[in-house]
Chain A
């Protein structure tokens, strides 16, 4: 047989022609010659014809240059012994490979970038919130001191009372000092418009315990906290700059807070952010002894910090605190009201940073785990794509091996290629993280602790770098193991790995396994997300016992120096003005509304009306209200009547109680029997008919005071008009029900208040719907974050599934064609093609559901209104996965169905 390639190459002596083109022309010449000969043409004539053909081609050899995209040239491994120059050569080669496949490179880099961004962002949250030392801790041993009785913390969790504080304050053994603080707001007047400012009332000892000194001026002297003497203030750096223009001469000047003058004695540094970064002014306060003058029992509740002496453990300090508190004076009824228990006092001492973040710790851990799972899915996808490419690159790798590259050398090459992708992914991931950080304050719940401490610093960047290394190595590991098994002889002789049976099936199995694991991880994330979303929905739609729609509420801080009578009349006038506005249906004042004030606890005792000789200790929320309170909030009356204007000064004292009150203190009698019952002379103090017993006139349903999963609390309501004296603290709350969007009535509300007294600055103006929304910001954030991870994982797993299926269908086209040719129906062929994947999905899903069933109890703290084994959540996830799986399979399946078996068999 004639060698046509040589024949033609000889003809093109003057011009170099590409080897591929020569082959192709030779193929043409051979076919022409064979056909001519088969038609009976003589050898000489046939050759002459071929020569004419070649002459034609030779006329314009330039036109025979192929300018097509070439596969990247196989470069012999660097012969240099130097590790570095070899690495650089490998890196350059890797870069060329990346550039030659922009689509593939973009997808792998983006997948890693998203994974890195998700984990890094959550790491920065976890690090900033949970691990970074508190900015105001200034060294070791700063602890929170928390009081409990019989395991129950105070109504305001994390607090302690004055009895225990005073008992420990004097010459403590295990601590250097103790200090207390309370948050609050006051009205600042005299500097521009009246504004509400955030204050912290601290004992003068606070600055010593925190080991801080003011930037200007001085800290509070011990005696400056004394009641009646506490007319001093320390400014924050921010308010000093904003309200006082940063002037040095503000020291020793006076400011007016809530109508009283205070002397500025100091200014804190910019970095001082205690208890929060929002605190603008610090005021001195005093923790008083339980036993006041004239035998009066005094109760205070507050948060406290202490500094441990060197070498002392929290347990030792707690033991001293407990011993001293138990030996100290008891606050009696007040302690009862605030703790709801008479058990002995227990003082616990907890690391300050840990205490500040205890609430969010489990959530951050769960989210961190979720993001790690997501990261694993993303890496698995990249590994899978690398594996798919490894089959395509088998020939290249084989040639490199044949040219003398050691397996270790090829492994290094693959590792460096992956490292390049990893580094690119990490770089983009860090950019994404920076963007996410900018959005962080709006993404996190309103009351999330330590948001200001979440920053991107060296540690976070180092973390991202470590992640990218993990990603590169993990993604490169599978293809690398594959290289180690590279069988030179077989790969070369069979032309491509695509037809190498054993290698292919092992590889395919690995890829199926990877997809199965991805499905399992995605199931876990989907089920978790479904649980959290359903829990959030349950909290939104939960019956709170009142109707928050179309209600606006605001704090009305009445200025000091006014009489109780004046405040009573002002309230009446404000309500009248508000109700004159079209669109306002009801308006009322109250000492508290749900989600707004935790105070108003009272404790009293009375003789049981149902059991002779039994005295009942009652602890209840007491709301002092104007009569339309019930109408504004839409409370449900279950028996008797609500309060009205006839319950006035001098009339018999009437109270409305809720069901919990009846259940806890009235032997849970049918509510009708509670009507007309007397709850004693101590229940309501300060009425004109002091000494007369209060009588229950109505029973309403319980309302959820705070979170919907909180236990219902006993509550009683008294008409403010029945009192002739009451200490309402800093003010009271106005609530208004409107016919449409209550936010549109805020201006009317401000006007009505200002007309009464321009010095009143309305505070905390919000609709009740907004308050409900804000109270749900944590569950919403967790649901959104978890849902986002789940959707992302779903997309990744879907893409992985699609890639593996497409690949396996194209690899198995011959087998599938043979099946079709042998009479299998299209449906049967598709079933064969998808069977392996179907099994992978089913097994992955089963594992995912199983793991979720084991793990879902971890979500208990975040789930409300649904079981952690909620069958709908566990059902939705597989359903979504099956739908995603079907979508991922449609294209490859169609390809199988549309293939013409004859063609496939002829071509291959």
Chain B
């Protein structure tokens, strides 16, 4: 898989709303119909890397009688990166289409 795709997926998921780590992992699995086998092992390292780059930020949310949960959301910088990465991916997909000759239905 193309390098950086995991980051793109996480950024895209966080674009919609704040999520915690478990939620992110589950969403990637569900939405890709398990086609993308995302290594849950690398989820947290990826999250921390994105956070240290300032693309996302995490905060603790506490609720009475529950374990505190860490929620992540997109920073303005992350939003910009997402837009750029998306267009790179679209070009990549277009190129693959042209080379592989896959016809649109």
Contact = CB atoms under 8 A, between A and B. Distances in A.
B101 interface: no
A64 B44 contact: yes
A30 B67 contact: yes
Contacts of B25: 28
Contacts of A463: none
A63 B21 contact: no
A24 B21 contact: yes
Contact of B70 (A24, A30, A57, A65): A24
Given A20-B70, A53-B40, A495-B62, A64 B45 contact: yes
Interface string B7-28: 0000000000110111001000
Contact of B22 (A32, A64, A67): A32
A25 interface: yes
Interface string A41-70: 000000000000100110110011111100
Nearest to A35: B26
Interface string A26-37: 111011100000
A68 B48 contact: yes
A63 B45 CA distance: 5
A53 B49 CA distance: 20
B44 A31 contact: no
B67 A26 contact: yes
Given A23-B68, A31-B22, A68 B51 contact: yes
A56 B39 contact: yes
A383 B87 CA distance: 47
Contacts of B51: 66, 68
B52 A25 contact: no
Contacts of A32: 22
Contact of A67 (B18, B21, B42, B48): B48
Contact of A27 (B17, B18, B41, B69): B69
Interface in A250-279: none
Contacts of A27: 20-22, 67, 69-70
A907 interface: yes
B34 interface: no
A907 B18 contact: yes
A63 B39 CA distance: 14
A726 interface: no
A21 interface: yes
Contact of B45 (A26, A28, A60, A907): A60
Contacts of B49: 63
A28 B21 contact: yes
A203 to B, nearest CB: 77
Contacts of A20: 70
A59 B42 CA distance: 10
Given A26-B67, A27-B67, A56-B39, A65 B18 contact: no
B83 interface: no
A907 B17 CA distance: 11
A63 B41 CA distance: 10
Contacts of B17: 903
A199 to B, nearest CB: 70
Nearest to A23: B68
B48 A23 contact: no
A60 B48 CA distance: 13
Nearest to B48: A66
Interface string B75-101: 000000000000000000000000000
A752 to B, nearest CB: 70
Contact of B52 (A26, A56, A68): A68
Interface string B59-74: 0011000011111000
Nearest to B21: A28
Nearest to A32: B22
Contacts of B21: 24, 27-28
A26 B39 CA distance: 18
Contact of B48 (A31, A64, A907): A64
B40 to A, nearest CB: 6
Nearest to A908: B61
Given A26-B67, A27-B21, A27-B67, A67 B52 contact: yes
Contacts of A495: 62
Contacts of A25: 44
Interface in A551-599: none
B75 to A, nearest CB: 12
B52 A66 contact: yes
B15 to A, nearest CB: 14
Contact of A907 (B41, B52, B61): B61
Nearest to B71: A907
Contacts of B45: 60, 63-64
Contacts of A23: 67-68, 70
A397 to B, nearest CB: 19
Residue among A32, A60, A64, A66 having the largest count of chain B Cβ atoms under 10 Å: A66
Contacts of A59: 41
Contacts of B18: 907
Contacts of B61: 907-908
B52 A24 contact: no
Interface string B28-45: 000000000001111011
A503 B21 CA distance: 34
B70 to A, nearest CB: 5
A908 B67 CA distance: 14
Contacts of B62: 495
Nearest to A903: B17
A65 B44 contact: no
A437 B58 CA distance: 49
Interface in A731-790: none
Nearest to A63: B45
Nearest to A31: B22
B61 to A, nearest CB: 7
B54 to A, nearest CB: 9
A66 B46 CA distance: 10
Nearest to B22: A31
Interface in A64-112: 64-68
A56 B48 contact: no
Nearest to B49: A63
Nearest to B64: A495
Given A31-B22, A32-B22, A24 B40 contact: no
B5 to A, nearest CB: 17
B67 to A, nearest CB: 6
A28 B48 contact: no
A404 to B, nearest CB: 25
Contacts of A56: 39-41
13 contacts: A20-B70, A24-B44, A24-B70, A25-B44, A27-B22, A28-B22, A30-B67, A53-B40, A59-B41, A63-B48, A903-B17, A907-B61, A908-B61
Given A27-B20, A27-B22, 10 more contacts: A23-B68, A25-B44, A27-B21, A31-B22, A53-B40, A64-B44, A64-B45, A64-B48, A907-B18, A907-B61
Interface of A: 20-21, 23-28, 30-32, 53, 56-57, 59-60, 63-68, 495, 903, 907-908
**What are the 8 A-B residue pairs with the smallest beta carbon separation, nearest first?**
A56-B41, A63-B45, A31-B22, A67-B52, A28-B22, A66-B48, A24-B70, A68-B51
